[in-house]
Amino acid sequence: MTISDVEQSHALRLDGKHVSKAILAEVGQELATCWKGQPPKLVVLLVGNDPASEVYVSHKMKASQKLGMTSETRRLPATISEHELLDRLDSLNHDPDVHAILVQLPLPGHINSQRVLEAIDPRKDVDGFHPLNMGQLLTGIEPVALPCTPAGMVRLLDYYDLSVAGKHAVVVGRSNIVGKPISLMLLHRHATVTICHSRTPDLPHLLSQADVVVAAIGRPNYVQADWVKPGAVVLDVGINRMEDGSLCGDVEKAVVHRASAVTPV
């Protein structure tokens, strides 16, 4: 199915829960086949007590334990020095019983996140943020791991049989975590990709030409519904908490009346 085949009058809800179940089943089968009797061990380093990070790490622990993996969260104080954190990583890199390392972002302001990510053994880098893995993604070589959010978006398109080949994709956001990697992944799938950000002039005009919109700028309702091309597929990565406690994405909810397919927030 191509994106233009989806009827605009019936916006398709791209539900990630179905995709998640399929991925978990695949991983479970791979673990049973390749790791007989010795499940891999994941260690997550959680620095400080950021509420969102606590939730994300909890979900990761539950998923890994459900699959029969060995997983461990090592909580570190927000006051830990960068030097000490790097020492902890070096120890994990050389521990043969640890197969995967994840440093939960964001880190406290006094720690250089890029330096920390570079210190992870790229063979144990399950987030795919090490420069070697990012470089392999850039050149089209399959890295050890792909950044999970962009990889999930691509799997979502695959699950719903939405091809981006020959389509114009506009990515709003240029972070190393989402914007840049998803742009490369879409490019490898033969989409024509335009990367935009908060300083891009005439963003509404660019979005009006986009068959696929990826919003990952971290600003609530930044992309207005009437900027989006009728019939476009909208992948809204944003999760923003408003003053009243409600959640919203980076795209106005009214886009459901304009797009052909959208991700729920």
> Is 104 annotated as catalytic?
yes
Using CA atoms, how far apart are residues 106 and 264, in angstroms rounded to an integer? 24
Q: From the CB of residue 234, how many other CB atoms can be counted at a distance below 10 Å?
A: 27
Q: What are the structural domains of the chain? A: 37-127 (3.40.50.10860), 147-262 (3.40.50.720)
Active-site residue, from 41, 104, 167, 180: 104
What pTM does this model have? 0.90
3-state SS, residue 245: coil
The answer to whether 174 and 197 are in contact (CB under 8 A) is: yes
Residue with tokens 């409600």: 246
DSSP 8-state symbol, 230 = T
> Is 41 annotated as catalytic?
no
pLDDT in tens, 233-256: 999 999 888 888 888 999 999 999
pLDDT in tens, 151-195: 999 999 999 999 999 999 999 999 999 999 999 999 999 999 999
> Is 127 annotated as catalytic?
yes
pLDDT in tens, 116-156: 999 999 999 999 999 999 999 999 998 989 999 999 999 99
Active-site residue, from 121, 125, 127, 236: 127
- The pairing of beta strand 240-241 with beta strand 247-248: antiparallel
Residue with tokens 């020095």: 81
pLDDT for 7: 47
Using CA atoms, how far apart are residues 252 and 221, in angstroms rounded to an integer? 5
pLDDT for 35: 84
Active-site residue, from 60, 167, 180, 229: 60
